[in-house]
Structure 1
Amino acid sequence: MDPKDVCVEIENDEFYSKFLVDSVKPIIGENISVSEQVSKLALGIEKLTKSLEKQVLDKHNDLLTQASHISDLEAMLESVRSQVQNLLRGAEKLKDRVHGPYAALEKQTVMLERVQIVCNLLRHASKILILWNKLSSVKDNPPKEAIILFELNELISDYNFEGITLLDEVLKQVDHRKRDLLNNATELLQSSLLSGDKAKLLQCFKVFHNLQCTEEQIKKTVDSMLSDLKKEISTALNVQMVSIEVKKSSSGRIAPGKANIMNAHDFKIKLWDNIDKLFQIAIYNSCTKVIMLQNVVNELHAIGNFRNILKNFWKELSTIFSTELEKSPSNVNQSVEIDFPKLLKCFNDLIVRLKCKDLEMNRASLSRWENAFLSKSLGKLLDPVRTMWHLNQVPTMDQIDNAIRVIAEALSVSLGDKQLSISLATSVAKSIKQMNMEAEQRMSMDSDVAQIIEPPTSSQQKNADLCNSLYYFSSQIKRVLVNMNSMLPQESIQIVQNSLKDISSTPILQLFAESIKNSLFIILMTMHDEPDLTRADDPNKKSLSCSPYMKELQQFVSRCRDIYLSMFQEKSALNECCINISKACVERFIQHVCNTRPLTKFGRVKLQIDCKQLETALSPLVNDITELGDHYRQLKALQLLLEKSPQEIAKSQCEGALLPYSIVMMFLFSFAGPQLLAPHTCAGWNIQKLMQWLDSHRNERDRLEFVAGALQRYQNHVRQNQIATYDEVYPVLLQLLEDGRNNFKV
Structure 2
Amino acid sequence: MKMEAKDVCVEIENDEFYSKFLNDSIKPLVGENLSVTDQVTKLAQGIEKLGKSLEKQVLAKHNDLLTQASHISDLENTLESVQSQVQNLLRGAEKLKERVHTPYYALENQTIMLERVQTTCNLLRHASKILTLWNKLRTIKDNPSKEAIILFDLNELIGDYDFQGIIILEEILSAVNQRRNELLNESTNSLQSSLLNGDKAKLLQCFRVFQNLQCTEEQIKKTVDNMLNDLKKEINSALNVQMVSIEVKKSSSGRVAPGKANIMNAQDFKLKLWDNIDKLFKVDIYNSCTKVIMLQTVMNELHAIGNFRTIAKKFWSDLCLVFSNELEKSSLTVNQSVEIDYPKLLKCFNDLLSKLKCKDLELNRSCLIKWENSFLSKSLGKLLEPVRSIWHLNQVPTMDQIDNAVRVISEALSISLGDKQLSISLANSVAKSIKQMNVEAEQRLSMDNDVAQIIESPTSSQQKNADLCNSLYYFSTQIKRVLLNMNSMLPQESVQIVHNSLKDISSLPVLLMFAESIKNSLYIILMTLHDEPDLIRADDPIGKSLSCSPYMKELQQFVSRCKDIYLSMYNEKPALNECYMNIARSCIERFIYHICNVRPLSKFGRVKLQIDCKYLEVALSPLVSDMTEIGDYYRQLKALHLLLEKTPQEIAKSQSEGASLPYSMVMMFLFSHAGHQLLAPHTCAGWNIQKLMQWLDTHRSEKERLDFVAGALQRYQNHIRQNQIASYDEVYPVLLQMLEDGRNSLRI
* Distance in 2 (alpha carbons) for counterparts of 1:526 and 1:251: 90
Contact 2:528–2:551 (Cα < 8 Å) also in 1: yes
Structure 2 gaps, min length 5:
1-5
Rounded to whole Å, the distance in 1 between the matches of 2:342 and 2:238 is 16
> Which secondary structure state, in structure 1, belongs to the residue aligned with residue 728 of structure 2?
coil
Equivalence for 1:9: 14
One-letter code of the match for 2:594? H
8 A Cα contact 2:12 2:46, kept in partner:
no
Letter in 1 for 2:95: K
Among residues 168, 171, 181, which one is paired with 2:170 in the alignment?
A: 168
- The aligned counterpart of 1:311 is 313
Match of 1:98 in 2: 100
Alignment pair present for 1:629 and 2:631: yes
1:90-111 Cα deviation digits (max 9, x unpaired): 2222211111111111111111
* 2:738 aligned with 1:736: yes
- Does residue 186 of structure 2 align to residue 207 of structure 1? no
Instruction: Tell me how far apart the structure 2 counterparts of residues 65 and 163 of structure 1 sit (CA, whole Å).
Output: 85
CA shift at 1:627, angstroms?
1.5
C-alpha displacement of 1:260: 9.6
Secondary structure of 2:451 counterpart: coil
Q: In structure 2, do the counterparts of structure 1 residues 607 and 254 end up closer, same or farther at CA, with 3 Å as the change threshold?
A: closer
CA distance in 1, matches of 2:51, 2:403: 128
Asked if 2 retains the 8 angstrom alpha-carbon contact of 1:214 and 1:303, the reply is no
SS at match of 1:674: coil
Q: C-alpha distance in 1, partners of 2:260/2:29?
A: 107
Counterpart in the other structure of 1:290: 292
Q: Which residue of 1 aligns with 2:384?
A: 382
Cα shift at 1:443 = 2.4
Measure the CA separation in 2 of the matches of 1:493 and 1:365. Answer: 27
- Give, in whole Å, the separation in 2 of the partners of 1:257 and 1:476: 41
Give, in whole Å, the separation in 2 of the partners of 1:672 and 1:489. 68
How far apart, CA to CA, are the structure 1 residues paired with 2:439 and 2:37?
116
CA distance in 1, matches of 2:478, 2:581: 25
| Pair 15,48 (structure 1): closer, same or farther in 2 beyond 3 Å | closer
Among 107, 110, 116, the alignment partner of 1:108 is 110
Displacement, 1:698?
A: 1.2
Report the Cα distance in structure 2 between the residues aligned to 1:67 and 1:15, rounded to whole angstroms.
33
Q: Show the counterpart of 1:54.
A: 53
The residue that corresponds to 1:222 in the other structure is 224
Deviation at 1:534, TM superposition (A): 0.9
> Matches of 1:231 and 1:601 in 2, distance apart?
102
Deviation readout 1:222-241 (Å, 9 max, x if unpaired): 11111110100000000001
Amino acid at match of 1:427: S
- CA distance in structure 2 between the partners assigned to 1:470 and 1:35 by the alignment: 130
Cα separation, 2, equivalents of 1:641 and 1:653: 10
1:680-716 Cα offsets, whole Å, 9 max, x none, are: 1112211112111111111112212221221222222
Query: How far apart, CA to CA, are the structure 1 residues paired with 2:101 and 2:583?
Result: 124
CA distance in 2, matches of 1:52, 1:476: 136
Give the distance between the partners of 2:263 and 2:17, measured in 1 at CA.
Answer: 106
In the other structure, the counterpart of 2:709 is 707
Q: Distance in 2 between matches of 1:729 and 1:471?
A: 56
- Give secondary structure in 2 for the equivalent of 1:356: coil
Alpha-carbon distance change, 42 to 654 in structure 1, aligned in 2, over 3 angstroms: farther
Q: Deviation at 1:414?
A: 0.6
Q: What aligned pairs does 1:325-724 form with structure 2 within 5 A after superposition?
A: 325-724=327-726
Structure 1: gaps of 5 or more residues: none
Moved more, 115-124 or 254-263: 254-263
Task: Report 1:118-157 matches (<5 A).
Answer: 118-157=120-159
Distance 2:346 2:173 in 1: 56
Q: What is the rounded CA distance, in whole Å, between the counterparts of 2:253 and 2:268 in structure 1?
A: 12
Find the residue that maps to 2:275 and give its secondary structure: helix
Deviation (angstroms), 1:399 = 2.1
Q: Which moved more, 1:713-722 or 1:677-686?
A: 713-722
CA distance in 2, matches of 1:16, 1:254: 123
Which residue number in structure 1 is paired with residue 3 of structure 2? none
Whichever residue aligns with residue 54 of structure 1, its letter is: S
Conservation of the 8 A alpha-carbon contact between 2:549 and 2:612: yes
* 8 Å Cα contact 2:249/2:265 also seen in 1: no
Q: Provide the rounded CA distance (Å) in 1 between the counterparts of 2:17 and 2:719.
A: 134
Residue 727 to residue 260, structure 1, CA distance change in 2 (3 Å): closer
Q: Which residue of 2 aligns with 1:299?
A: 301
Q: Deviation string for 1:401-420 (max 9, x for gaps)?
A: 22211111111111000001
Q: Secondary structure at the match of 1:462?
A: helix
Q: Aligned in 2, Cα 1:623/1:151: closer, same or farther, shift over 3 Å?
A: same
Q: How far does residue 322 in structure 1 lie from its aligned partner after superposition? A: 0.4
**Separation in structure 2 between the aligned mates of residue 459 and residue 18 of structure 1, nearest angstrom:** 127
Distance 2:43 2:481 in 1: 128
Of 194, 197, 201, the match for 1:195: 197
**TM-score normalized by the length of structure 2:** 0.94
Q: Deviations over 1:176-211 (max 9, x none)?
A: 111111111111111111111111111111111111
CA RMSD of aligned residues (A): 2.6
- Count of residues in correspondence between the two structures: 740
Contact 1:150 1:210 in 2 (8 A): yes
The one-letter amino acid paired with 2:663 is Y
Distance (Å, rounded) in 2 between the aligned partners of 1:243 and 1:389: 42
| CA 18–65 in structure 1, closer or farther in 2 if over 3 Å, else same | closer
Q: 2:12·2:18 contact (CA, 8 Å) conserved in 1? A: no
Using the TM superposition, give the Cα deviation of residue 386 of structure 1 relative to its aligned residue in structure 2, in angstroms: 2.1
Deviations 1:620-642 (A, max 9, x none): 22222221111111111111111
Residues 689-698 or 247-256, more deviating:
247-256
- What code does the residue aligned with 1:85 have? Q
**Alpha carbons of structure 1 residues 255 and 618: separation in structure 2 relative to 1, 3 Å:** closer
Change (3 A) 1:254 1:471: closer
C-alpha spacing 1:66/1:606, structure 2 compared with 1 (3 Å): farther
Structure 1 residues 630 and 91: alpha-carbon distance in aligned structure 2, compared to 1, 3 A threshold: same
Q: Distance in 1 between matches of 2:684 and 2:258?
A: 106
Q: Which amino acid aligns with 2:14?
A: E
The whole-number CA distance in structure 2 between the counterparts of 1:710 and 1:82 is 142
Q: What amino acid is the match of 1:455?
A: S
Per-residue CA distance 1:33-72 (angstroms, 9 max, x = gap): 6974785587468547745763674476376666665555
Is the 1:550–1:614 Cα contact (8 Å) retained in structure 2? yes
Paired residues of 2:519 and 2:586 also in contact (CA < 8 A): yes
The 1:56/1:110 distance shift into structure 2, 3 A limit, reads: farther
Which amino acid in 2 is paired with 1:517?
K
Paired-residue identity, %: 75
2:12 touches 2:19 (CA, 8 Å); kept in 1?
A: no
Amino acid at match of 2:430: V
Instruction: Judge which range, 90-99 or 343-352, deviates more.
Output: 90-99
Contact 2:678/2:716 (8 A) holds in 1: yes
One-letter amino acid matched to 2:739: L
- Cα drift, residue 256 of structure 1: 11
Contact kept? 1:6, 1:51, Cα under 8 Å: no
Question: 2-side partners of 1:45 and 1:380: how far apart?
Answer: 123
One-letter amino acid matched to 1:477: I
Task: Indicate how the Cα distance of structure 1 residues 47 and 520 shifts in structure 2: closer, same or farther if over 3 A, else same.
Answer: farther
Q: Deviations over 1:89-145 (max 9, x none)?
A: 222222111111111111111111111111111111111111111112212111111
